[in-house]
Amino acid sequence: MENRQVRAIAGARVSHVQGSEKTSHLDQHETGAKYTANQGWDLVGSFEDLDVSALNTSPWDRPDLGPWLNDRAHEWDALVVAKTDRLFRSAKDATDLAHWAEQNNKILVMVDDGLKLDFFHPQDEQDPFAVMLAKIFLILSAMFAELEGRRFVQRAQSRVRFLRPTDRWGWGIAPYTHIVIDHPSGTGKALALNPVTQPVVHDVVERRLLIEDQSMTNIAVSLNDEKVLTPRDQRRVERGEKPQGESWTVNQLMRILTSLATQGIKLANGKPVLDDEGRPVRVGPPTFSGEVWDQLQGLLKERSGEPRKRRHSTNPLLGVGKCGECGASLRQRSQTTPAGKTHRYYVCGRSPKACLGVSIRADDAEEIVAQTFLEDCGSLVVLRRVFQPGEDHSYELAEVEQTIESLREDRALGLFSGPEDEARYRDQMRALIARRDVLRALPSRVAGWIYEPTGTTYAEDWASAEVERRRKLLTEAGVVFRLHEPNQWAVEVPDDMKDRMRQASSS
């Protein structure tokens, strides 16, 4: 073994990448690389755990270091870090890792602390007293690192408690829509709108959702196609690092579009922090106006209550064609003749067993629907489906009522224990209840979709429309094509929609 070249991995760990720690991990990498070069070792790999606490996460559980210890231990001989606290802040973790290194013939090096445990080279070539001292100093260093870490946590918690009711940004990563700046007062930090991400969320909401009525899935796909950076990759770029090409998901979008943090509200454990009057504390400017935010929340709430459905498809009768026997949607099926000609059909789409005999040539079905619809409605004005925000402050009222309920739950759990807490609870509840009563007394108009005339007839729009636009005209008009057996079908347009069309055409 003594003739084998030592293969080393060097890395970094940072609890929170902000402030002075924005470049700390880079310095740690440089320290490890220089040490391995001076030793004449081969640097075969690196690890980097950012925003990872050594108090709460053992070396084996860390995202980047963990695989090197669990699955890739055979690929290296020495682990090099700048300081002991970059590897662990726990005496137990220090003992466990030292024992693991001895069992697996590894070298552990903490460069700046001058500590080295060498279980790679034969023990009879090393000074037993020096080896024992290294173990002792490692444990002592880990104990002091743990003590320092816990004191740091206590100071941070005290700071958070002090800053919580203020309009100052206390700690952590800013919401996707904001960046951390100096507070206007000159003391502490605050949030400002992120000039890079604001155009993204405004485009998603004001164009893709509220105007084009795109699905969340389609929006996520579009953002990925357009190479828009995800929140994590955006933070990496802001730290001067390379993005990793992560993909947008619907859940990411929903978190951004429903979290009050997007509106500059300070949150604690997912709930808005309240001032003495029971109002949410604002730590940064809102991304959207109150009207747009209410409109957005109403739209997302409405969608969450709808059955999941595809909003864009090459199926011209998606959302229109229904099986007349069981009510399932019709699906397309292709069949190729011996002569090599392919025909499309619409059949019952029920799974796992479709209704027998429910089948029609796709071209015939699409012609029947178009002809019947245009005969009935071609001369009528096209109605555009538009989301109308409520005028009853229903979303704000629901928010206030939810806050009242949350405060009551917190009190029932004993979170308002002292006299000062009880006094604050009463002040907040008094203000919230007064606000609730004011909102309840305001005029009521429920948010929802309305139909507005476009000034163009269905026949005019249909003549120049592509397949997807024609499908949308049919679905928004409520058209249903019911297929029973071959040559038995019906095309239905809801009477209330016909009435709206006629009213729009006559006005």
Among the residue ranges 138-142, 215-219, 402-406, the one predicted with the least confidence is 138-142
pLDDT at 167 over 80: no
Q: What mean pLDDT do residues 126-146 have?
A: 63
Provide the H-helix boundaries in 246-304.
Answer: 250-258, 290-304
Does the pLDDT at position 311 exceed 50? Answer: no
Taking a C-beta distance cutoff of 8 angstroms, is the pair 412, 474 a contact?
no
Q: What percent of the chain has pLDDT over 70?
A: 82
Q: Give the per-residue pLDDT at 162.
A: 47
pLDDT of 43 over the 90 cut: yes
Beginning with the edge strand found earlier in the chain, give each strand of the sheet holding 321-323 in spatial order. Answer: 321-323, 480-483, 489-492
**What letter represents residue 360's amino acid?**
I
Average pLDDT over residues 345-368: 89
Name the 3-class secondary structure at 307. coil
Residue 354 DSSP SS3: coil
Average pLDDT in the 111-126 region? Answer: 79
Q: Where in 226-297 does DSSP place strands (E)? A: 267-268, 271-272
Q: Are 230 and 176 in contact, with CB atoms under 8 Å apart?
A: no
DSSP state of 74: G
pLDDT band of residue 14 (cuts 50, 70, 90) is confident
pLDDT in tens, 62-106: 888 989 998 899 999 999 998 888 887 777 887 888 888 888 988
Domain ranges of the chain: 7-151, 166-264+287-306, 321-387+448-506, 390-446
| pLDDT over 90, % of the chain | 22
Contact 94, 139 (CB under 8 A): yes
Q: Determine which helix (DSSP H) or strand (DSSP E) holds 398, and give its type and residue range.
A: helix 394-412
Question: Of 97-111, 261-275, 325-339, 481-495, which gets the smallest average pLDDT?
Answer: 261-275
Report which of residues 211 and 5 the model is more confident about. Answer: 5
Say if CB 216 and CB 309 are below 8 A apart: no
Which H or E element spans position 198? helix 198-202
pLDDT at residue 137 tops 70: no
Give the pLDDT confidence of 232-269 residue by residue, as tens digits.
899 888 888 888 888 999 989 999 999 999 999 888 76
Question: 166-264+287-306, superfamily in CATH?
Answer: Putative Large Serine Recombinase; Chain B, Domain 2 (3.90.1750.20)
**Statement: residue 35 has pLDDT above 90:** yes
Name beta bridge partners: 451: 385
Residue 403: count of CB within 10 angstroms of its CB: 21
Contact 325, 341 (CB under 8 A): no
The domain defined by 7-151 folds into Rossmann fold (3.40.50)
